[in-house]
Amino acid sequence: MKPRRRLRLQVTFAALREAGDWRPLPGCPGRWVLPGPRAVSPADLVGQGVPVRVHEVPGARDPVHVAVVPGGGLISYARADGRFVHTLNDDEGLRRKLEQLGVPCEPAP
């Protein structure tokens, strides 16, 4: 009997976009929001294989969680009640928003 192979799927912007009920952010091309604060963490959305970096920045009232994936990334804001507001960003939207927040944009793994 052959040993089982583990299949590792790569999380991408397109896969995240397809998997959620993302709504466009008005006036923010390349950015979408998952409606309503959610108890789901950024790590729950992107999986264990994608690093999530946390930043405290003056431009945001809540801690900013960033996960970069091929094609873009996730920027999530951690509310004090433990819920998150998740935004999905294509490459340009991610770069633009991180620059606005003063957070370095690291390339996707």
Q: What is the pTM of this model?
A: 0.88
**4-60 pLDDT, tens digit each:** 765 556 899 999 999 989 999 999 999 999 998 889 999 999 998 899 999 999 989
Query: pLDDT tens, 68-79?
Result: 999 999 999 999
Q: What is the average per-residue pLDDT within 92-104? A: 94
Contacts of 15 (CB under 8 A, 6+ apart): 9
How long a stretch of residues is the chain? Answer: 109
Let me know the angle formed at the C-alpha of 91 by 55 and 22, rounded to the nearest 5 degrees.
80
**pLDDT exceeds cutoff 80 at 107:** no
The pLDDT value given to residue 55 = 96
In the chain, what are the domain boundaries? 13-101
Structure tokens at 77: 């804001």
Element (H, E) at 36: none
Q: What is the predicted pLDDT for the residue at 105? A: 80
Identify which has the larger pLDDT, 62 or 10: 62
